[in-house]
Amino acid sequence: MSQPTPDSSSTAQPVGPAQSAGAQSAGPARPSGAVEPAKSAPPAPGARTGLSPLQREAYYDPSVAERPELQVSDLHFRPQRRTLLPVSLFIATCLSTFWVGCTRWEPLAPQFASSWSHVGRTIAANWAGGVDYMVAVLAILLTHEMGHFLQTVKYRIPASYPLCIPVPFTAIGTMGAVIGMDGMRADRRQIFDIGIAGPLAGLVVAFPVLWLGVTRLDLGQPVPPDVMQLNLPLAAQWMMHWAHAGKPWADSQWVALSQLNPYFMAGWVGMLITGLNMLPISQLDGGHTIYALFLGRAHTMAKIFISLAIFYVVSNLNDAVMWTPMLVLVIFMGIHHPRTANDRVPLGPVRWAIGLASLAIPVICFPLLGVR
């Protein structure tokens, strides 16, 4: 076995242990070819030692470290729905519609409202009619608004519960109902579904109620002078023609308050509210629908419609003057519908067909001449 030959060039000389920098004596030399271990850099002044990577970050604050991390869902604020106000308004609207039904739609008439004793006698004598009208008209209104509300729940659009509007001093006892919602979060398809669901749902109840009321009409009764009369929308005129074919008043376009029954009045109110809501302007149901269908072109259509409406009211002041306050209100609200969260979402052929067909709703439901 050969032995290595001692040689100064190949044999390392033993030396003592390595000394720190600045030492006076030299330490033992390392064998040739050995790699010296890397020396870790000393920590920077003020650096945190023994901490996790997150804790070493400059923005780390131990006072809030235990709080939950912000999520994307936290950026979408969903306000809690109030219940006291909707319930209070619903009860008030029940009372107001019940009262006008008891008075046969003359809530301020002296024979009914001149004293509390008159009020009590009126309710005792006509409570059944008041209940019928109250149930029928609120069924239409709430079905309409629940159509909107359920769609907002489906698409997770923040919205209030339906808010009924009681008006006990008018012939109909209410100005309908509304829901408040954050419509700017809805895209094109969602705003279409939310807008169209209310009128379609309301008409499912309003048409049978109106038909029941039409079948119980008898316009052969004499009409006292100076009694308010209601103009019949096209839908009611068609029902009159079918239900009372052959009678001399089957083609009548007006019905006096003294000839009404609770179901016809509730159905007429349902037609009025649905027809108004489907007008193609602003953020009415019709405004949602027309914008979802035609997007920017809906603004031009709204201008044309509002111009025709102003022309009609001015040229028929005697018959259409009652629509003036509403026309002014819509103009102040703004006749244009705002953009949705995403206008590029396609509607699809089914929604297009439903939307185009819904444009006929105000034509057949709206009583153009109102009252006289």
Average pLDDT over the chain, rounded to whole?
Answer: 80
pLDDT at 327 (0 to 100):
79
Q: Is 280 a domain residue?
A: yes
Residues 6+ apart with CB under 8 A from 265: 101, 105, 133, 137, 172, 213
- DSSP conformation letters of 169-194: TSSSSEEEEE--B-GGG--HHHHHHH
Q: Is 359 a domain residue?
A: yes
CA–CA separation, 293 vs 307, rounded Å? Answer: 21
Say whether 179 sits in a helix, a strand or coil. Answer: coil
CA–CA separation, 23 vs 246, rounded Å? Answer: 127
Q: Is 284 a domain residue?
A: yes
Q: Is 153 a domain residue?
A: yes
Residues 6+ apart with CB under 8 A from 357: none
Please state the rounded mean pLDDT for residues 174-200. Answer: 89
pLDDT at 7 (0 to 100):
44
Q: Is 52 a domain residue?
A: no
pLDDT at 145 (0 to 100):
93
Q: Is 35 a domain residue?
A: no
What are the tens digits of pLDDT across the range 37-86? 555 555 555 455 566 665 566 556 666 656 666 555 455 545 567 889 98
pLDDT at 60 (0 to 100):
61
What are the tens digits of pLDDT across the range 258-306? 888 899 999 999 999 999 889 888 888 888 999 999 988 988 888 898 8
pLDDT at 23 (0 to 100):
41
DSSP classification of residue 49: -
For residue 164, report the phi and psi dihedrals to the nearest 5 degrees. Answer: -75, 155
Q: Is 6 a domain residue?
A: no
The pTM (predicted TM-score) of the whole model is: 0.74
Say whether 35 sits in a helix, a strand or coil. Answer: coil
Q: Is 36 a domain residue?
A: no
Range of the domain at 272: 81-365
What are the tens digits of pLDDT across the range 84-133? 998 999 999 999 999 998 988 888 888 887 788 888 888 888 899 889 99
Q: How many domains does the chain have?
A: 1
